[in-house]
Amino acid sequence: MSSKVKLVLTHGRVFVWNAEDVRILREDYRIVGTLVGCLPRAPRQNVHLGLPVQLMPEETQLLLSKGVVELVDGGSLPEPDEKKAETFRNMRTENYEGQIESFRQDRKREIYRHMSKIKEGKKAKKQKVLEERRKAGEKIAQEEETEEEFNVEQISIPAIAEDNSMVQIFTESPWQDVLQPVTDEWKYPQSEHERLRSQVFSHLWGRGYYMTGGGKFGGDFLVYPGDPSRFHSFYIAICKLHQVKLTALDIISMGRLGSNVKKTVLLCSIDSEDKVVCTSLQWTGIS
């Protein structure tokens, strides 16, 4: 990788706006994140989402510790000056002009596809006009009754209206390279529980797993043996401080939680030697 991936910090949350950066993080570093942006062609729904990708704090901290990313301040982007505005307008104009010829070629192909229907329609229309003229007593010359040759190349196809042209919608600012690096704003982890989550995430990631947030399954992380687009999660990781006492009801609840969604619960903590300890819980029921 020639340069570091840019992670944009905005109001305490970290986003990846560039599609190529998202691919690199997923394929090279097993960092998945969550798509949180609306799709330009379907903005009024929240089932299928697009860029940007939002990263969990644990994902961000792991990448920063590996030195493969740069955290930049999303609020440091300056207001566009007249030069940038002119560049943007020129780009829109070039984009529109490039679509004109493409539009005309598409229209010609459409005409060719419907050539037989167009010829029949023109012939029927001409015959109707001639019939009306005959009824009016007008004499029709023989050459007027001859069928005209229909040449698509001679048709004048107007340019597409600029209001109907396709517009490039940026998924990231084209001037994002001017964003300033974050120096002292990133302060994760701070609490003991955040430190626990961060270490557990790093521990499981280091063993080759993919991970996403586990809130919808009642845990801290969902743990996958491969890319989540191809595999179901095997484990629900639940982070508990080592000194916290658990009752038998707590253990049973976590065991049944995993059983209901056909996953193994990983009870994760940090022991007195600052090592991550994972205990698997599986509900077998009573025979």
Nearest-angstrom CA–CA distance, 30 and 53: 14
- Catalytic residue (one of 84, 125, 232, 275): 232
242 is catalytic: no
240 DSSP assignment: -
181 DSSP assignment: B
263 is catalytic: yes
Q: Where are the alpha helices (DSSP H) in the chain?
A: 19-29, 57-66, 82-113, 115-135, 142-145, 192-205, 248-260
Query: Which among 275, 285, 183, 199 has a CA at the least distance from the CA of 237?
Result: 199
224 is catalytic: yes
DSSP bridge pairs for 183: none
Give 19-80 as a 3 state SS string. Answer: HHHHHHHHHHHCECCEEEECECCECCCCCCCEEEEEECHHHHHHHHHHCCEEEEEHHHCCCC
Nearest-angstrom CA–CA distance, 201 and 278: 12
- Cα R_g (the chain), whole angstroms: 32
Cβ neighbours of 179 (radius 10 Å): 20
- Catalytic residue (one of 224, 242, 245, 275): 224
Task: Specify the DSSP element, H or E, that contains 266.
Answer: strand 264-270
Instruction: Tell me which residues are annotated as active site.
Output: 224, 232, 263
